[in-house]
């Protein structure tokens, strides 16, 4: 009987890893917090940045990625991403992914902020992530040795002598805890942008894998780097729906409440400046004008083009009475992507033997201080495959470690109370760890969130309890990491230290270190 490899997460990185482990003949269990296709990947709009355009080359993509990362990228990791990316995308196409074509039948390339050339492929106009997710799911379901485990929330990772042994998950339907042993664990559970009040992410994106790894002893890195998407829909009684950066790539532009274009006064690239710059510029403009939103004007692009190129955005806005071909879209920044995560090498290895990580849950140095637009799906494909290769190799060379089921009682849940605490904490995180930060506010949230985490360290027997614990841990870790950085760089901007004199370093943190210092 083949050894079992556990994969937590069913987005692009998790499914890529699962498929490649299955190809190697291993049994694979894929765990997801909700339904298998309820994830960030499925919601992604923009596209996949990849060197397939004749006028493009590896060095251009590498240069753009390094520049966006503000000097904090790992060049080796970036080179791997860029050079292995085309093969992974071609593989995805061979599995049935249908990317948009131009009139001549070739792949249609578009451009987003901070790219020097049109290199972004897209599907269904602005539903690229959905096409990628469904393609990978169809491929995964062709393997009898892949088994899906939906509605299983990761609570803890069990180890023996710094070696993976099993995971503890909460079945969110029965609210019972379950234990699964395996020869290796691949974490692909996503980032932590949903701990913020304003976010483009599904509510499930609360860093569960990162916190579980942190509590198991793994090293985290660069957790202060949270990317805020500049343009989330800001309309009464409507969700914070992502308005893709591709719209600005196609010619849409930002204006204030006076219908004045303002980005040129903040950055020479104007509306196509890096995301962190655009998000901060919008916040500065809102404060200057005493308004709570700005506007993205795409009306000049025409109804026919908007319907064909951005059907998801067009139709979603129409649900709330907004015809984007006739009026500008009200927008404001929202937490979107997290560059920090579990520290890994370029082979997805973490500091715990037998545990590997890929995608947004990991920090391998690809994104540095600020992710280049549309590099995330490519990272999931490339490093999901690398995580699979490493996990398979580890499994071939190591025996399964026995685990001892922990014996302790879970705390009973008062769900309404916990839900209120979650809402309050999200508000506080947005206010004190948002687009523009202050030292005093970061110190305040570190003190209160660390105390809240310690109080709620013992897991509850419900999803809300684990979520509150994880949010409190993440708020503490983000604040702690941000306070270690004595300047501003990339997605971390502290108004008290706006310059980056000595910020070109990485901030690593472990549970043991935080316990000792706090």
Please identify which of the residues 88, 275, 309, 386 carries the catalytic annotation.
Answer: 275
Q: Which residues of 481-503 are buried (b: 16+ CB within 10 A; e: fewer)?
A: bbbebebbbbbbbbeebeebeeb
Task: Say whether 386 is catalytic.
Answer: no
Q: What contacts 24+ positions apart, CB below 8 Å, involve 488-491?
A: 489/70, 489/71, 489/72, 489/369, 490/69, 490/70, 490/72, 490/225, 490/276, 490/339, 490/368, 490/369, 490/370, 491/225, 491/226, 491/227, 491/228, 491/275, 491/276, 491/339, 491/369, 491/370
Q: What contacts 24+ positions apart, CB below 8 Å, involve 436-442?
A: 436/280, 436/283, 436/493, 436/494, 436/495, 437/482, 437/492, 437/493, 437/494, 437/495, 438/494, 438/495, 438/496, 439/483, 439/494, 439/496, 439/497, 442/479, 442/482, 442/483, 442/494
- Phi and psi dihedrals of 333, rounded to 5? -70, 155
Question: What are the C-alpha distances in Å from 236 to residues 47, 66, 254, 321, 332?
Answer: 28, 38, 20, 11, 13
- Of 344, 340, 345, 362, residue with least CA distance to 491: 340
d(CA 87, CA 194): 32
- Residues 272 and 249: beta-carbon distance below 8 Å: yes
Dihedral of CA 156/465/472/365: which sign?
positive
d(CA 334, CA 447): 24
Q: What residues does 220 pair with on adjacent strands?
A: 342, 509
What is the CB neighbour count within 10 angstroms for residue 458?
Answer: 12
Tokens describing residue 229: 């998407």
- Residues 131 and 97: beta-carbon distance below 8 Å: yes
- Residues 181 and 165: beta-carbon distance below 8 Å: yes
Active site residues: 275
């Amino acid at each position: 009987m083949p050894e079992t490899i556990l994969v937590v997460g069913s987005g692009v990185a998790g499914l890529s890893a699962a498929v490649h482990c299955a190809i190697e003949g291993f049994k694979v269990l894929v765990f997801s917090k909700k339904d298998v296709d309820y994830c960030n990947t499925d919601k992604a709009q923009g596209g996949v940045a990849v060197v397939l355009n004749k006028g493009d080359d590896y060095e251009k993509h590498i240069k753009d990625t390094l520049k966006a990362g503000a000097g904090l990228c790992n060049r080796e990791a970036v080179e791997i991403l860029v050079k292995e990316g085309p093969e992974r995308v071609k593989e995805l196409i061979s599995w049935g992914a249908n990317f948009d074509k131009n009139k001549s039948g070739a792949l249609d390339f578009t451009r987003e902020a901070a790219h020097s050339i049109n290199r972004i492929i897209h599907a269904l106009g602005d539903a690229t992530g959905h096409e990628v997710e469904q393609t990978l799911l169809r491929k995964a379901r062709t393997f009898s040795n892949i088994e899906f485990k939906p509605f299983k929330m990761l609570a803890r990772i069990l180890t023996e002598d710094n070696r993976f042994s099993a995971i503890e998950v909460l079945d969110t339907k029965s609210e019972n805890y379950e234990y699964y042993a395996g020869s290796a664990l691949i974490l692909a559970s996503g980032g932590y942008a949903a701990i913020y009040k304003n976010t483009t992410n599904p509510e499930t994106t609360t860093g569960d894998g990162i916190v579980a790894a942190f509590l198991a002893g793994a090293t985290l890195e660069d957790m202060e780097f949270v990317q805020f998407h500049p343009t989330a829909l800001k309309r009464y009684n409507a969700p914070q729906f992502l308005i893709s950066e591709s719209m600005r790539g196609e010619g849409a532009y930002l204006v204030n409440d006076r219908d004045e274009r303002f980005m040129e006064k903040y950055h020479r690239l104007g509306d196509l400046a890096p995301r962190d710059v655009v998000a901060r510029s919008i916040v500065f403009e809102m404060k200057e004008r005493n308004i709570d939103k700005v506007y993205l004007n795409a009306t000049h692009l025409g109804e026919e083009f908007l319907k064909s190129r951005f059907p998801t955005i067009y139709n979603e806005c129409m649900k709330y009475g907004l015809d984007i071909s006739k009026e500008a879209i009200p927008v404001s920044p929202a937490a979107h992507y997290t560059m920090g995560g579990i520290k890994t090498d370029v082979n997805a290895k973490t500091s715990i033997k037998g545990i590997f990580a890929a995608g947004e849950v990991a920090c391998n140095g690809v994104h540095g201080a600020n992710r280049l637009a549309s590099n995330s799906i490519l990272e999931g494909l490339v490093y999901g495959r690398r995580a699979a290769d490493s996990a398979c190799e580890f499994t071939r060379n190591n025996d399964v470690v026995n685990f001892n089921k922990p014996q302790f009682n879970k705390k009973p849940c008062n769900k309404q109370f916990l839900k209120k605490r979650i809402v309050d904490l999200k508000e506080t995180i947005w206010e004190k760890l948002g687009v523009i930060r202050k030292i005093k506010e970061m110190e305040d949230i570190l003190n209160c969130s660390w105390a809240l985490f310690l109080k709620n360290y013992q897991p509850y027997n419900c999803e809300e309890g684990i979520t509150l614990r994880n949010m409190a841990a993440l708020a503490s870790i983000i604040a702690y990491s941000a306070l270690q950085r004595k300047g501003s760089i990339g997605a971390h901007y502290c108004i008290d230290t706006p310059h980056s004199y000595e910020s070109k370093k990485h901030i690593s943190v472990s549970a043991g270190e935080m316990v000792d210092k706090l």
